[in-house]
């Protein structure tokens, strides 16, 4: 198998045993990735899996706002194993996002890429997978720094989550569960890969300007010189007292960067009427109200495009929690799960997604992994 997948219930005391038992009968592994529901002790799961797999298998991961394994799942621990016969991996820990130093990070990435190229010079395909603390508010600065060290290597990733509690988001690396940290896994493979980003949102003609903000905390205080929550509610035709994550998922705002629109999703409304965002925000930013297209039809088309002309063996994906909320609100979770299952998608629901040098929201980012060419 090109990708090994196992899952267990988060409340199962023997979860680590079950995951390791499912992975161990197969080939030796270059990397194992864990997606851990917040109901579980991420540190205990990591320690258990690492002990059973042995020190020679690097294990990384993060906590989630839901899992993807056989479709949308809740309360699960998902393990993804990448066999050494087809993948070589180097992992890089950023232990303190508050002390992010771009130059050492860039140097570490360049050395890691060089090591992989020397180890597997006959393999042509590369990608990078990022997992980052979703409460750190450092994703934008981090992706910008990573881009300088990755060069042409495509990157995708997701912000570690904590269900809908927003209390503690953890990244797993080197036997530790860490806050305010990130881990980058660099992969070199003989499998063709396609890194992608997709969303089902279309900008409307309704625009608004951020006139007062606290960028460091991703807080918008005033929009169009009016209290932020009141003005947003007026523009979407809602009662300000009824604003909720479901409202924000159904009525997202986007910014235009590099000729394309990218979502700047709202996380919550504060009691004083401020709006807290999932990603970078600043005064003077022009926000455009967006409306969603048919989510099922859009996802079906996007996954079908990835399956042409050859279906991928697996898709490793980071799916925004707001997409899951929208699916629940519209009662289409089952139909989306059917699509994810049919296309072998595995991953987790996030507090934000990364794509190359961008931190984005309300998107699905990932890598499609295709069977390697037959030997000559």
pLDDT digits (tens, 9 = 90+) for 105-143: 999 999 999 999 999 999 999 999 999 999 999 999 999
Classified as helix, coil or strand, 135 is coil
The answer to whether the beta carbons of residues 342 and 269 sit under 8 Å apart is no
Residue 270 confidence (pLDDT): 95
pLDDT > 90: percent of the chain: 91
Cis, bond preceding 197 (omega within 30 deg of 0): no
pLDDT of residue 376: 65
Q: Parallel, antiparallel, or unpaired: how do β-strands 314-320 and 345-350 relate?
A: parallel
User: Nearest-5° angle of CA 120, CA 121, CA 123?
Assistant: 70
Q: Kindly state the percentage of the chain with pLDDT values over 70.
A: 100
pLDDT given at position 262:
84
Which ranges in the chain belong to alpha helices (H)?
15-23, 42-53, 102-119, 139-150, 228-236, 245-250, 295-306, 321-329, 333-342
4-56 pLDDT, tens per residue?
999 999 999 999 999 999 998 777 999 999 999 999 999 999 999 999 999 89
Q: Alpha-carbon distance 325 to 347, whole Å?
A: 16
């Amino acid at each position: 198998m090109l990708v090994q997948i196992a899952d267990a219930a988060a409340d199962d005391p023997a979860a680590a045993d079950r995951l390791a038992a499912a992975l161990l009968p197969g080939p030796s592994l270059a990397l194992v990735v864990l997606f851990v529901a917040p109901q579980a002790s991420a540190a205990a799961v990591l320690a258990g899996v690492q002990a059973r797999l042995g020190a020679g298998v690097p294990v990384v991961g993060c906590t989630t706002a839901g899992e993807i394994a056989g479709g949308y799942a809740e309360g699960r621990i998902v393990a993804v194993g990448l066999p050494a016969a087809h993948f070589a991996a180097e992992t890089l820990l950023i232990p303190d996002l508050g002390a992010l130093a771009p130059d050492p990070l860039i140097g570490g990435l360049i050395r890691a890429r060089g090591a992989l190229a020397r180890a597997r010079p006959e393999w042509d395909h590369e990608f990078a997978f990022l997992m980052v603390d979703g409460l750190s508010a450092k994703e934008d600065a981090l992706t910008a720094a990573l881009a300088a060290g990755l060069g042409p290597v495509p990157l995708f990733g997701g912000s570690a989550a904590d269900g809908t509690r927003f209390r503690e988001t953890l990244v797993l690396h080197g036997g530790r569960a860490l806050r305010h940290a990130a881990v980058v896994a660099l992969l070199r493979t003989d499998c063709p890969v396609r890194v992608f980003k997709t969303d089902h949102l279309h900008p409307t003609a309704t625009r608004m300007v951020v006139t007062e903000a606290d960028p460091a905390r991703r807080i918008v205080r005033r929009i169009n010189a009016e209290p932020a929550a009141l003005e947003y509610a007026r523009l979407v035709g809602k009662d300000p007292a009824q604003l909720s994550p479901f409202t924000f998922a159904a009525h997202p705002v986007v910014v235009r960067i590099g000729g394309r629109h990218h979502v700047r999703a709202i996380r919550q409304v504060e009691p004083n009427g401020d709006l807290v965002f999932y990603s970078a925000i600043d005064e003077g930013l022009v926000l455009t109200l967006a409306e969603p297209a048919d989510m099922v039809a859009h996802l079906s088309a996007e996954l079908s495009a990835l399956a042409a002309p050859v279906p991928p063996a697996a898709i490793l994906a980071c799916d925004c929690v707001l997409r899951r909320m929208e699916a629940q609100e519209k009662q289409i979770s089952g139909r989306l799960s059917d699509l994810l299952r049919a296309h072998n998608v595995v991953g987790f629901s996030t507090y934000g997604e990364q794509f190359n040098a961008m931190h984005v929201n309300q998107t699905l980012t990932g890598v499609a992994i295709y069977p390697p060419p037959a030997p000559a």
